[in-house]
Amino acid sequence: MRTARLADVCTKIGSGATPRGGESVYMQAGVSLIRSQNVLDSAMKLQGLAHISDLAASQLSGVTVQPGDVLLNITGESVARCALVDARALPARVNQHVMIVRPNAELDARYLQSFLVSPTVKANLLTMSAGGTRRALTKAQVGGLQIPLPPIREQQAIAEVLGALDDKIAANEKAWRLADDLRRLTFSSGLDDATHVPLSEVARFVNGRPFTKDASGSGRPVIRIAELNSGFGGSTVYNDIEVADDHVARPGDLLFAWSGSLTLRRWYLREGIVNQHIFKVLPAEGWPLWLVASLLERKLDEFKAIAADKATTMGHIQRRHLDDPVSVPTQGWLESNGAKLKSLWDIALAMELESQRLAALRDALLPELMSGRLRVKDVEKTVEEVV
């Protein structure tokens, strides 16, 4: 199969820039400024999208995003994440942490995105980005990548079949967020006549340990705050050490970072080892996990305010804050509504887990399709069965 350098089949490969003028150029609405946090793998995150004034945008006209552009993160912890631009974000510019990769007529944009997010290419990008004080990719490195180049119609067919998996993953994300939102809304309706108990009575909070120290580089991933926020990536540490079960996180467990981001996460990725600064939250007898999670969710803003007041480089709460009271619906209300709320919790987890399986299938099919070892017609039925 023919291959080509990306630089030879793209009309633009280049990073963005920071708007001049500081905070004054940022607006509630206007031209979007796409930053690295908006670029996920195979999808854009529109929540938290920044906007800049028309004047600032005109000064960044050289990094204008066009329909069909592929965006690639080129610095920091999110390096090598890649997504096709979402039309809802346009008109837009990109900042210096994001690269525009614009295909020419020989290269389908969705096919290009699939190529850049494939495990082999991502691993290559992560390797190339290492070596400095901070991960970074250059225009020359990205442009030098060799991409398989079947005829454009075959590229489009490959992109379509893989895109069906991405669309299902996106639909699952929407479903689990809606399920969680409904659970939170329903739970809040039960607090008009509530009792109060210390948070420390509803669960055990088991602190992780510094398992990155002397890590072996193989075995299970160590779950740090970075993994809790963004999943596994090129900087993830692995360790084959044996640890107590209380320090192991499996899909369905509840994790809570008590410093830094103060993230609360229903874990759904592969089994890992819980690092320091993260609690594994284990419900006390008689307290279902969904209820413990709901109580913690309602304390998060308060905990974040406490952490923000710390005169340290990393805000945090202390264990004594876990003795603070939380509002719990009456037993009668829980008996009437508990099954519904548990079902919503379980649905959200099931959608997260299914998305992980679909992503694994996509990543397995991608190199086979691009190499020609599998044809689109060979995998269409498999994909249809799961979407």
List the chain domain ranges: 3-148, 150-191+331-387, 194-329
| Amino acid 358: pLDDT | 94
Note the pLDDT of residue 370: 87
Reported pTM: 0.84
Angle at 298 between CA 293 and CA 299, to 5 degrees: 95
Q: What is the pLDDT of residue 312?
A: 54
Q: Quick check: 288 pLDDT over 60?
A: yes
What does the H/E/C string look like for the chain? CCEEEHHHCEEEEEECCCCCCHHHHEECCCEEEECHHHECCCCECCCCCEEECHHHHHHCHHHECCCCCEEEECECCCCCCEEECCHHHCCEEECCCEEEEEECCCCCHHHHHHHHHCHHHHHHHHHHHCCCCCCECCHHHHHCCEEECCCHHHHHHHHHHHHHHHHHHHHHHHHHHHHHHHHHHHHHCCCCCEEEEEHHHCEEEEECECCCCCCCCCCEEEECHHHHHHCCCCCCCEECCCCCHHHEECCCCEEEECECCCCEEECCCCCEEEECCEEEEEECCCCCHHHHHHHHHHHHHHHHHHHHCCCCCCCECCHHHHHCEEEEECHHHHHHHHHHHHHHHHHHHHHHHHHHHHHHHHHHHHHHHHHCCCCHHHHHHHHHHHC
Answer yes or no: CATH 3.90.220.20 is held by domain 194-329: yes
Instruction: Tell me how many degrees the CA angle 229-69-12 measures, rounded to the nearest 5.
Output: 115
Strands 272-274, 220-223: pairing is: parallel
pLDDT at 109: 96
- pLDDT tens, residue by residue, 18-38: 898 888 899 998 999 999 999
CATH 3.30.980.20 describes domain 3-148: no
Statement: residue 70 has pLDDT above 70: yes
- Point out the least confidently predicted range of 88-92, 195-199, 305-309: 305-309
**pLDDT greater than 60 at residue 14:** yes
Structure tokens at 284: 């006390």
194-329: same fold as 3-148? Answer: yes
- pLDDT tens for residues 152-198? 999 999 999 998 998 999 899 999 999 999 999 999 999 998 999 99
**pLDDT at site 313:** 57
